[in-house]
Amino acid sequence: MKQFKYLLSSALVAITLTAAPSASAFCGFYVAKADTDLFNQSSKVALVRDGDRTVITMANDYIGDPTEFAMVIPVPTVITKDQVHISDAGLLDHLDAYTAPRLVEYFDDNPCERRYRKEMAMRSSVQMAPMMDSAFEEAENLGVTIEESFSVGEYDILILSAKESDGLQTWLESNGYRVPKKAVKTLGSYIKQDMKFFVAKVNLEEKAKQGGEMLRPIAVAYESPKFMLPIRLGTVNANGDQDLFVYTLTKNGKVETTNYRTQKIPSDKELPIFIKDDFGDFYKDMYKTSANRQGGHGVFMEYAWDMNWCDPCAADPLSDDQLKELGVFWLDEGRNDQPMPMPRSMRPKQMAKNVYVTRLHVRYDAESFPEDLKFKETGDRQNFQGRYILRHAYDGEMDCPEAEKYKQEVNARKETEIKTLANLTGWETKYIRTKMKASGKGELFDLDEPKKRVDWWNKIWPSDED
């Protein structure tokens, strides 16, 4: 009996003491990305920064006779020859692909099969915490069963069972729980004993009540207290608006501009299925609409994530060698002081260590951006990405009472998707419906005509239509 108590307490320590705030991790099937090639007259810059040390790698969209090319870049200190390096354009392309806004898709379960699982969960408590169908689906796909779900005070409680430790670890981490690397083996031993897992997460609401073609990039390394990027000279030869993509690589968290407002690009929006074939046009128009709402220009965060992993991955994280080529000089510091916070299946062969990447998309001209960009490292490591969702309705045979209700819910969902797309892009709903019909994808279900309700007063005074 004493041994059982020890095992149980160890399990609670392994889970609850390492539970992290929601990491906004996302699951789904990655299907498309919005990279810099969508935008004309764009430039890419990587900024590696720690303390006063900076390595800046610059790529430009110059097209023409290379002998006519000249680049004038203000720097905060004297630069010597050994501080300059000619880098590989493929590095910035890889970084662009890794951080690009992405499109993912999900597929609904058969609502007739989903019914039993939901009924069992709902019987567990009158005070059932609301659980999304996607959470049940995700758990089931990983061999995890949500046995019970309820709330107590400011805590949301889950009782889980699992078939294997990897699936349980993946589910926990994708839902914001960090599981120590050494705990995986222990989890497996408990699963073999058919033990369940008590998982608690703070309910924040309840808690509140309680309280183009480019030349090879040029890399320059220097030391300066100024964390900035000179952009004003770039407007001299510009023809209209410029798009600048800044990728910052830091130790401690996301980077924002201090002299211009940094805002997140609209994200986590569910869109009509036909956007899968028009993602590029959608993203360009969405970005333009977002910028126009800020006067036509602005600084938008499109990605902020720990370089150790990604979910879903539009490209593999950069290797140690690639990061060192970009100038990340601290990789060999403190190699063994922290566990890797991601599932085994997501780990690349070479692990990046303590590198946080932020992608900023700046649209500017000389008038709207009279100052160079100034940055700060915030220390905020909460993940963010421009992510857009296609949710496929179940299209197989449905023979159960819940089928008609499910179809009604899907139709309502699709109407919301149309309105969301119109709001993001400025497209007219009539145009969207036309595109939807022409694509033959994601059209609304045909529903049975609802029976007309007859109230008692209709029997006294039949309506004029009768």
Query: Does pLDDT of 336 surpass 80?
Result: no
Query: Does pLDDT of 275 surpass 90?
Result: yes
Q: How many domains does the chain have?
A: 2
Do 256 and 184 belong together in one domain? no
Quick: pLDDT tens for 33-81.
Answer: 888 887 767 788 999 999 999 999 987 555 554 444 445 566 777 677 7
Kindly state the average pLDDT of the residues 85-94. 87
Paired strand residues for 186 = none
pLDDT for 31: 74
Nearest in space to 166 (alpha carbons), one of 145, 142, 147 = 142
Query: Does pLDDT of 314 surpass 70?
Result: yes
Nearest in space to 274 (alpha carbons), one of 109, 414, 435, 97 = 435
Q: What angle (nearest 5°) sits at the alpha carbon of residue 48, between those of residues 74 and 355?
A: 165
Q: What is the DSSP letter of 19?
A: B
Query: Does pLDDT of 352 surpass 50?
Result: no
pLDDT for 200: 62
Paired strand residues for 190 = none
Query: Does pLDDT of 432 surpass 70?
Result: yes
Do 15 and 49 belong together in one domain? no
Kindly state the average pLDDT of the residues 214-235. 78
Do 330 and 461 belong together in one domain? yes
Do 123 and 268 belong together in one domain? yes
Query: What percentage of the chain exceeds 70 in pLDDT?
Result: 67
Question: Which of 115-124, 199-208, 330-339, 424-433 comes out lowest in average pLDDT?
Answer: 115-124
Do 344 and 439 belong together in one domain? yes
Kindly state the average pLDDT of the residues 287-301. 92
Query: Does pLDDT of 188 surpass 80?
Result: no
pLDDT for 178: 60
Query: Does pLDDT of 463 surpass 50?
Result: yes
pLDDT for 213: 47
pLDDT for 86: 82
Kindly state the average pLDDT of the residues 85-109. 89
Question: Which of 16-20, 106-110, 242-246, 299-303 comes out lowest in average pLDDT?
Answer: 16-20
Nearby residues of 380 by Cβ (< 8 Å), 6 or more positions away: 253, 254
Question: Which of 49-63, 178-192, 429-443 comes out lowest in average pLDDT?
Answer: 178-192
Query: What percentage of the chain exceeds 90 in pLDDT?
Result: 32
Do 327 and 274 belong together in one domain? yes
The whole-model pTM stands at 0.67
Confidence of residue 84 (pLDDT cuts 50, 70, 90): confident
Task: Pick the last residue of a domain from 165, 192, 210.
Answer: 210
Give 115 or 353, the one with higher predicted confidence: 353
Two tokens, residue 338: 């922290």
Question: Which of 273-287, 296-310, 385-399, 442-456 comes out lowest in average pLDDT?
Answer: 442-456
Confidence of residue 15 (pLDDT cuts 50, 70, 90): very low
SS3 string, 81-119, reads HHHEEECCHHHHHHHHHHHCCEEEEEECCCHHHHHHHHH
Task: Pick the last residue of a domain from 140, 175, 210.
Answer: 210
Confidence of residue 3 (pLDDT cuts 50, 70, 90): very low
Nearest in space to 46 (alpha carbons), one of 380, 324, 370 = 324
Do 136 and 229 belong together in one domain? no
* Sign of the CA dihedral with 315 first, then 320, 324, and 328 last: positive
Do 119 and 222 belong together in one domain? yes
Kindly state the average pLDDT of the residues 166-193. 68
Q: How far apart are CA 272 and CA 10, in angstroms?
A: 46
**Residues found in the chain:** 466
Q: How far apart are CA 275 and CA 314, in angstroms?
A: 17
Range of the domain at 139: 2-28+129-210
pLDDT for 81: 78
Q: How far apart are CA 378 and CA 384, in angstroms?
A: 14
pLDDT for 29: 63
Quick: pLDDT tens for 100-153.
Answer: 999 998 888 888 875 544 554 444 433 434 455 566 667 777 788 887 776 755
Q: How far apart are CA 206 and CA 151, in angstroms?
A: 10
Nearest in space to 424 (alpha carbons), one of 308, 317, 291 = 291
Give 434 or 350, the one with higher predicted confidence: 434
Task: Pick the last residue of a domain from 192, 210, 228.
Answer: 210
Mean pLDDT of the chain: 76
pLDDT for 49: 96
Do 353 and 458 belong together in one domain? yes
Give 298 or 80, the one with higher predicted confidence: 298
Query: Does pLDDT of 366 surpass 70?
Result: yes
Confidence of residue 356 (pLDDT cuts 50, 70, 90): very high
pLDDT for 114: 56
Q: How far apart are CA 25 and CA 383, in angstroms?
A: 7
Do 288 and 318 belong together in one domain? yes
Biggest distance spanned by C-alpha atoms of the chain: 96
Do 138 and 123 belong together in one domain? no
Query: Does pLDDT of 347 surpass 80?
Result: no
Do 141 and 93 belong together in one domain? no
Give 432 or 216, the one with higher predicted confidence: 432
pLDDT for 350: 47
pLDDT for 125: 39
Query: Does pLDDT of 173 surpass 80?
Result: no
pLDDT for 205: 65
